[in-house]
Amino acid sequence: MAATPVTLTPGAVTLDGLRAIHGGAAFKLDASAWPGVEAAAASVRRIVESGRTVYGVNTGFGLLAQTRIGDDKLETLQRNLILSHACGVGPDLERPVVRLMIALKAVSLARGHSGVRRDVIERLMDFARQDCLPVIPAQGSVGASGDLAPLAHLACVLIGEGEALFDGARLSGGEALTRAGLQPLVLGAKEGLALINGTEASTALALDALFTAERVMGAGLGAGALSGEALMGSHAPFEARLHTVRGQPGQINVAGRLRALLDGGEVKSAHAACDRVQDPYSFRCQPQVMGAALDLLTQSARTLVIEANGVNDNPVIFPDTDEAISGGNFHAEPVAFAADQITMALCEIGSLSERRTAVLVDPKMSGLPAFLVEDGGLNSGFMIAQVTAAALVAENRSLAFPARVDSVPTSANQEDHVSMATGAARKAGQVARNAASIIAIELLCAAQGLDFRRPLKASDMLESLHAAIRVRAAHLDVDRYMATDLAALTEAVLDGGLGEAAELAL
């Protein structure tokens, strides 16, 4: 039986709904949106009929905003706008991101403050329903005046231009529409501008990074707990009172999660008489570091949900007074900050994980065989896996410089301060994927370390995590080709396939 489609109510879209769409769920607009859409479209018609000069309705754009366009050329104006702005370059955006872009654009337009006809929104929804997805290059937006280039590529297919993926083939926009049984639209006044003014590309990319970060965070907590047991580390740093007196919500949350992960195992009692006073920070400060990262991700999630429900068009139409107020809701500053926060949080999650891996492979620190393999010297074990983790941490640090603090003026200095949100969100996604591989390496090392502690058993949840790892990668008795193991565990982190121990909902 097909899953129930996600119903998108403009102004009340949830993170759960967006996550489901990112995962491939069908979606539809709530019918309550249509009266507002129709009222705004009628308002634009009245503005045109009144003869008033209104930016984006009957003028040029950007520096050319002072040029009045005759009523007989308004359709050509909107078509030219879409074609001229489709200047993206680079790799194509991934399917989940494009689907999110379509959903976000439909929701924004359906708030009833953009002035587009119902037909425009329904055609966008047709793209998702028919699985006719525009080909959208990833690069070319500075995240202000809207994500102009990527959204223009999205809009091109509406008018039968550009390219789209349909039925497994990459086709011209016109051919894709024909095969999908759809007709190209002729855009009316304001509609082209409404389609490309907006933050939907930046927001979709940032949500993509956030949803990956959720899984990386969960897997990172599971890996940290499993590594702690392999180290025969102390559970005392996770005691509830310790975190309550500080009061940081993410720290309290993470400490509780770690206690749940560790509860019931045999390892703690097996080293009750241990003379080690304190574990390294990467083990005992997990609640403080991972909790702070969780707080950043939670704040970013709030920002992105607000943006997903907002009107980020320009000018904004107020149908009750037939006003078109020109402002800057297309400026993606909030999205840029959210994306940079996601990047920084992921950078720290990966950094902490690599340090735990380094401890486990070091016999002086862990008490385990050097590089977690018997017959060391003949076998190198996990020596170079830790080097790979270190390389990824270094790469993530270079990507963690905030994109938001940069700005390159555009459009002959009319658009003299821009957000760089799209670039910020794209690199957040890269850092998330790197962090997934760092966590994968730690999971392999932690499972190997726990093997050396047998016959002691960890908690039920950690034993389940250990089993999930072993399904994908056997114990390392002697050196073997390891890239396959790393790829399998990275995929498991990214697809959430590690079970209960690695689940953490924001």
For residue 378, the SS3 value is coil
φ, ψ of residue 245 in degrees (nearest 5)? -70, -20
CA distance 367 to 361: 9
Rounded Cα distance, 62 and 410, in Å = 10
* Closest to 332 (Cα-Cα) out of 411, 446, 423, 266: 423
What does the DSSP assignment read for 272-326?
TT-------HHHHTHHHHHHHHHHHHHHHHHHHHHHHTS---SSEEETTTTEEE-
Q: Is the peptide bond before 319 cis (omega within 30 degrees of 0)?
A: no
Sign of the C-alpha dihedral computed for residues 459, 462, 464 and 466 taken in this order: negative
* 92 phi/psi in degrees, rounded to 5: -75, 145
- Count the Cβ atoms, other than its own, within 10 Å of residue 376: 14
Alpha carbon of 375 to those of 84, 366, 379, 470, 478: distances in Å?
Answer: 65, 17, 6, 21, 8
Report angle CA 433, 102, 151 to the nearest 5 degrees.
85
CA pair distance 497, 471, nearest whole angstrom: 11
Determine the Cα–Cα distance for residues 492 and 472; give it in Å rounded to an integer.
9
Kindly report the backbone phi and psi dihedral angles of residue 324, in degrees, each rounded to the nearest multiple of 5, phi listed first.
-120, 100
Residues marked active site are found at 55
- Residues linked to residue 137 through DSSP beta bridges, in sequence order: 92
**Strand 89-92 with 137-139, pairing:** antiparallel
Q: Which residue has the tokens 């396959």?
A: 484
Instruction: Tell me if 226 sits within 8 A of 462, measured CB to CB.
Output: yes
CA distance 449 to 372: 6
DSSP assigned state of 86: -
Is residue 98 classed exposed, middle or buried when 0-12, 13-18 and 19+ CB atoms within 10 A define those classes?
buried
Question: What gap in Å lies between CA 353 and CA 234, rounded to an integer?
Answer: 17
- Tokens encoding 309: 């429900």
